[in-house]
């Protein structure tokens, strides 16, 4: 996805953090109160002191959203909560409210997607394709919309094992989950609508809360792997299969910074990849996790000893789902980040190393485990799978 048309207004970042110089804008965010959108809204409140922030929030989540925002300084005067469903026709809004959005919104951060590999097929397609459809439809009629920043995922490359350029999408891959397949189709749909949509797409690996996050995020395969270490009843742990492979992840606060930079400096029609330039191997991650939980790793993989550890753990579901946990963290494609790197350089940003904040991820994992959020659960509503 390339274009020579400029994106939203650029900002000079030489005098501090990247910050919009535009006053009085209306900035729309969909995906709140998902943890990725929480990080973005905190950043927007800090960086956009004169902008109005409008959040389209599913009615069932309004109470949660209001409670979170009540703890955010300055939020009450700056934010407008709009009951709606970002993957429904006209965002689930009344005709009057939809017309108001179309006449006033200047920028849009579209974060209402699911990457959850455990989300049911029907729900995944409803969320991801429905959200893309609404991005295209509102963009077509919005009078002053200058830029849409659409958050996607490296999962769109499925089981592809080679390099993936930012302009790539179809690489002969098959998909590990309905969420990944539907998100790839959503991207393909938006590519066909670029005449109407002033769009930039952002792809990242799995996103963790970790740094400065108030509430635990949706659990990932990495969280489940770390929980297996914490739950093991023996001190010496074997290495799981594929332990030499890199582990790609980014914290939500950095992803918010990257999304914000794209909204100000990005090029319409272009896709940006962001990832850890030097990702650690699973061995390095598990060594640090084992030390945190008072355990150690044994060198070499022994399938029998791994099975024994899992069966001795305090919860049979860990052993039953170990293969799924392994597959969830595994990144198939290697993201090439040429455009993303250039944009980060202009914005004065650098992707953080996972090992540098892994202790925070381990605490995050413990909280998810205490809240029993690592277990499979039935979901029926779109917002239940939006991270």
CA distance 315 to 322: 12
C-alpha distances in Å from residue 333, one per residue of 154, 161, 223, 330: 7, 5, 20, 9
CA distance 229 to 287: 10
Rounded mean pLDDT, 17-25: 68
Residue 286 has pLDDT above 80, yes or no: yes
Quickly state the pLDDT bin for 322 (edges 50, 70, 90). low
State the chain's mean pLDDT as an integer.
Answer: 86
Residue 235 has pLDDT above 50, yes or no: yes
Rounded mean pLDDT, 68-93: 90
Rounded mean pLDDT, 180-203: 96
Residue 357 has pLDDT above 70, yes or no: yes
Structural contact between residues 200 and 268, judged by C-beta atoms closer than 8 angstroms:
yes
Q: What are phi and psi of 62, to 5 degrees?
A: -60, -40
- Give 156 or 282, the one with higher predicted confidence: 156
Residue 17 has pLDDT above 90, yes or no: no
By residue count, the chain amounts to: 387
Quickly state the pLDDT bin for 180 (edges 50, 70, 90). very high
pTM of the entire predicted model = 0.89
**Least reliable range by pLDDT among 13-27, 173-187, 337-351, 370-384:** 13-27
Exposure string for 128-163, b = 16+ CB within 10 A, e = fewer: bbbbbbbbbbbbeebeebbbbbbbbbbbbbbebeee
CA distance 174 to 291: 37
> For the residues of 257-285, what is the DSSP string, one character each?
HHHHHHHHHPBTT-EEE---SSPPBHHHH
E strand map for the chain: 26-30, 52-57, 79-83, 107-110, 147-151, 163-164, 199-203, 206-208, 236-237, 249-251, 271-273, 296-297, 334-335
C-alpha distances in Å from residue 330, one per residue of 82, 171, 191, 372: 37, 18, 27, 23
CA distance 134 to 140: 10
C-alpha distances in Å from residue 256, one per residue of 9, 128, 338: 18, 20, 19
> What residue ranges do the domains of the chain occupy?
26-207+250-277+332-352
Structural contact between residues 232 and 379, judged by C-beta atoms closer than 8 angstroms:
no
- pLDDT confidence of residue 305: 55
For residue range 22-61, what is the model confidence (pLDDT) as tens digits?
568 999 999 999 999 999 999 999 999 889 999 999 999 9
C-alpha distances in Å from residue 180, one per residue of 101, 121, 199, 282, 335: 29, 10, 20, 22, 16
Q: For residue 26, list its beta bridge partners.
A: 52
At 80 the three-state DSSP class reads strand
- Give 4 or 54, the one with higher predicted confidence: 54
Structure tokens at 195: 């005449």
State the DSSP code for 59: G
Quickly state the pLDDT bin for 240 (edges 50, 70, 90). confident
The residue written with tokens 């809360």 in the block is: 209
At 106 the three-state DSSP class reads coil
For residue range 307-320, what is the model confidence (pLDDT) as tens digits?
555 555 443 233 44
CA distance 33 to 39: 10
Helix (H) or strand (E) holding 256: helix 252-265
- pLDDT confidence of residue 239: 75
- pLDDT confidence of residue 376: 77
- pLDDT confidence of residue 76: 75
Q: For residue 30, list its beta bridge partners.
A: 56, 110
**CATH code for the structural domain at 26-207+250-277+332-352:** 3.40.50.720
Quickly state the pLDDT bin for 324 (edges 50, 70, 90). low
Structure tokens at 279: 């990702």
- pLDDT confidence of residue 175: 94
Structural contact between residues 265 and 48, judged by C-beta atoms closer than 8 angstroms:
no
The residue written with tokens 């650098």 in the block is: 350
CA distance 11 to 313: 53
């Amino acid at each position: 996805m390339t274009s020579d048309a400029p994106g939203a207004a650029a900002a000079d970042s030489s005098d501090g953090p990247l910050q919009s110089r535009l006053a009085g804008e209306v900035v729309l965010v969909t995906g709140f109160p998902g943890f990725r959108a929480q990080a973005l809204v905190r950043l927007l409140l800090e960086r956009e002191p004169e902008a109005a922030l409008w959040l389209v929030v599913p009615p069932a989540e309004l109470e949660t959203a209001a409670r979170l925002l009540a703890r955010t300084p300055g939020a009450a005067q700056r934010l407008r909560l709009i009951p709606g469903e970002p993957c429904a026709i006209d965002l689930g809004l009344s005709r009057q409210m939809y017309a108001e959005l179309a006449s006033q919104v200047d920028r849009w951060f579209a974060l209402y997607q699911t990457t959850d590999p455990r989300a049911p097929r029907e729900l995944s397609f409803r969320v991801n394709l429905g959200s893309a459809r609404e991005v295209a439809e509102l963009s077509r009629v919005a009078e002053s919309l200058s830029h849409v920043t659409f958050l996607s995922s490296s999962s769109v490359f499925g089981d592809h094992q080679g390099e993936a350029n930012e302009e790539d999408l179809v690489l002969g891959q098959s998909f590990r989950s309905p969420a990944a397949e539907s998100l790839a189709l959503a991207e393909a749909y938006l590519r066909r609508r670029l005449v109407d949509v002033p769009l930039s797409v952002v792809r990242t690996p799995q996103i963790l809360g970790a740094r400065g996050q108030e509430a635990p995020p949706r659990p990932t395969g990495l969280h489940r792997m770390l929980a297996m270490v914490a739950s093991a009843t023996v001190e010496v742990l074997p290495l799981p299969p594929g332990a030499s492979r890199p582990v790609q992840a980014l914290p939500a606060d950095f992803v918010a910074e990257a999304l914000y930079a794209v909204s100000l400096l990005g090029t319409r029609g272009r896709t940006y990849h962001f990832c850890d330039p030097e990702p650690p191997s699973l061995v390095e991650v598990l060594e640090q996790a084992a030390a945190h939980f008072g355990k150690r790793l044994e060198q070499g993989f022994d399938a029998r000893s791994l099975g024994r550890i899992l069966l001795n753990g305090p919860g049979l579901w860990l052993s039953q789902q170990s293969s799924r946990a392994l597959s969830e963290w595994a990144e198939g494609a290697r993201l090439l980040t040429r455009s993303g790197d250039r944009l980060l350089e202009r914005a004065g940003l650098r992707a953080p190393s996972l090992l540098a904040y892994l202790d925070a991820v381990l605490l995050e994992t413990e909280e998810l485990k205490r809240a029993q959020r690592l277990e499979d659960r039935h979901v029926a509503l779109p917002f239940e799978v939006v991270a």
